């Protein structure tokens, strides 16, 4: 057992500095509780806008901030850069990769999720997801490089492959990426590329299920499908990917050559269940008590995408930022009660503020449960909500200015190719033959 008295010198360790971890840490700021936040990255990241980094609408610094800066104003909170590899729940210690450990009286696990390749982890280098800045920059590099190479390519087969982009998964991430890539292509070709015709660009959105946006009402999914089709996205439903390699993917017997593949087909929880020696539930998430504690371990809370919490009807809560943030605030309140010796008996209740996805310029959808919204008004509401959720005023101002500028100019300011970034899977294309009978300019 811990040697600390939790009511006089409570030491809380929070694993993870995402939405849930930061909300919990902020809630414990200036509380008199000693808090240690440990994360393997030194920055927090607003993942809902990561697709805009991948499509050159925003820079990484617009949606990321050092964790130390976010929590620096709280004297009782210490931030550590480290990778957790295990948890000793008997000895009350968090085990780190460098061989050290952190003691705790109360532990909060907020380690988030990662993309699930369903046993095909070898696909990951060729089809990165959208969870990290590195992945977003890699996708941006592949997208922009494909247009640059297509501008000088003379072989029709090479041009077709370079201008074919595939997004796997028809959830919000896939829909947002497909719409953003299509708009990026049309805008760049109209303004900057003289040898590419916009009709050559082929953006594929591939979904194994019967329709895209399965978590939304069917009428909103139908609206999104129609809008994507109208801006040039080919939506392929009921099709499963069977193979991915360096320059193609296969849908059964059909092989499609492509220069850029983005994975958004499913997520799984972090390995926290394995650390604790418990059996994970749906998507590897850890079942929790109504107060978000681990069954049999009231000193361990599991929140965010890692937790398998349920609503009043027993349905699993979705892996959304608003769920994670509310859970972090709830656990912080429960721990503050514990510090003062009071009992916190109210179970966690999620207050749904709507589920949303943006599809393109002036087009988004909102599902509030009892009513829905789509089109331009939903798009403005989506923008307001996402600006509000950014970590501080500086980020809100920067993103707002860039969005307003982009809305009127239709230009993207982050179209930079890092010549040293490269394709980390070493699958770069051989040089195309430049400037030999270049095709006619397109519009």
DSSP β-ladder status, 355-360 and 164-168: unpaired
> What are the residues whose beta carbons fall under 8 Å from the beta carbon of 61, sequence distance 6 or more?
none
Q: How many other CB atoms are found less than 10 A from the CB of residue 273?
A: 20
Query: Beta 233-237 vs 243-245: how paired, if at all?
Result: unpaired
For residue 75, count other CB atoms closer than 10 A to its CB: 8
Backbone angle region of 410, left / alpha / beta, with phi > 0 → left and psi within -120 to 50 → alpha: left
Q: How far apart are the first and last CA of the chain?
A: 71
Angle, nearest 10°, between helix axes 393-409 and 376-389?
A: 150
CB 115 within 8 Å of CB 127: no
Q: If 0-12 CB within 10 Å is exposed, 13-18 middle and 19+ buried, where does residue 51 land?
A: buried
- Residue of 65, 176, 200, 207 marked active site: 176
Distance CA 407, CA 160 (A): 30
Per the annotation, the verdict on 148 as an active-site residue is no
Sheet-wide strand order for 297-302: 77-81, 34-39, 11-15, 106-109, 297-302, 293-294
Question: Which residues are within 8 A (CB) of 159 and not within 5 positions of it... i.e. 6 or more apart?
Answer: 150, 153, 200, 439
Judged by phi (left if over 0) then psi (alpha if -120 to 50, else beta), residue 126 lies in: alpha
DSSP letters spanning 95-158: EETTS-EEE-SEEEE---EEE--TT-GGGTTTS--SSSHHHHHHHHHHHHHHHHHHHH---HHH
Determine the Cα–Cα distance for residues 23 and 45; give it in Å rounded to an integer.
13
Residues 6+ apart with CB under 8 A from 422: 141, 428
The conformation of residue 316, written as its DSSP 8-state character, comes to B
Which residues are known to be catalytic? 176
């Amino acid at each position: 057992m811990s040697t600390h008295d939790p009511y006089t010198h409570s030491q809380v360790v929070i694993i993870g500095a995402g939405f849930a971890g930061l909300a919990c840490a902020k809630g414990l700021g200036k509380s008199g509780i000693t808090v240690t936040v440990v994360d393997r990255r030194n920055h927090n990241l607003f993942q809902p806008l990561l697709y805009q980094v991948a499509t050159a609408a925003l820079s990484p610094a617009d949606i990321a901030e050092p964790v130390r800066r976010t929590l620096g104003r709280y004297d009782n909170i210490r931030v550590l850069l480290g990778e957790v590899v295990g948890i000793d729940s008997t000895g009350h210690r968090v085990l780190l990769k460098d061989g050290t450990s952190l003691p705790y009286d109360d532990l909060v696990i907020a380690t988030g999720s990662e993309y699930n390749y369903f046993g095909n982890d070898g696909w990951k280098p060729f089809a990165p997801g959208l969870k990290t800045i590195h992945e977003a920059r890699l996708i941006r590099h592949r997208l922009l490089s494909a247009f640059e190479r297509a501008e000088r390519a003379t072989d029709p087969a090479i041009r077709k492959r370079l201008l074919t982009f595939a997004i796997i998964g028809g959830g919000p991430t896939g829909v947002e990426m497909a719409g953003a890539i299509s708009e990026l292509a049309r805008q760049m070709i109209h303004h900057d590329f003289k040898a590419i015709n916009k009709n050559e660009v082929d953006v594929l959105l591939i979904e194994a299920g019967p329709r895209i946006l399965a978590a939304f009402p069917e009428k909103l999914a139908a609206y999104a499908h129609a809008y994507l089709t109208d801006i040039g996205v080919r939506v392929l439903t009921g099709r499963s990917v069977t193979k991915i390699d360096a320059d193609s993917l296969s849908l059964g017997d059909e092989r499609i050559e492509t220069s850029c593949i983005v994975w958004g087909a499913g997520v799984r929880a972090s390995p926290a269940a394995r650390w604790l020696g418990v059996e994970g539930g749906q998507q590897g998430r850890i079942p929790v008590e109504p107060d978000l504690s681990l069954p049999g371990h009231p000193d361990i809370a599991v929140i965010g995408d890692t937790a398998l919490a349920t609503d009043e009807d027993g349905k699993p809560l979705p892996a959304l930022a608003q769920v994670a943030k509310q859970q972090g605030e709830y656990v912080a309140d429960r721990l503050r009660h514990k510090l003062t010796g009071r009992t916190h008996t109210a179970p966690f209740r999620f207050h749904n503020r709507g589920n949303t996805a943006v599809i393109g310029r002036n087009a988004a959808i909102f599902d509030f449960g009892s009513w829905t919204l789509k089109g331009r008004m939903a798009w403005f509401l989506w923008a307001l909500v996402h600006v509000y959720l950014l970590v501080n005023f500086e980020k809100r101002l920067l993103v707002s200015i860039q969005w307003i500028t982009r809305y009127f100019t239709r230009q993207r300011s982050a179209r930079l190719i890092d010549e040293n970034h490269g394709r980390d899977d070493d699958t770069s294309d051989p040089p195309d033959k430049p400037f030999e009978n270049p095709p006619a300019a397109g519009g």
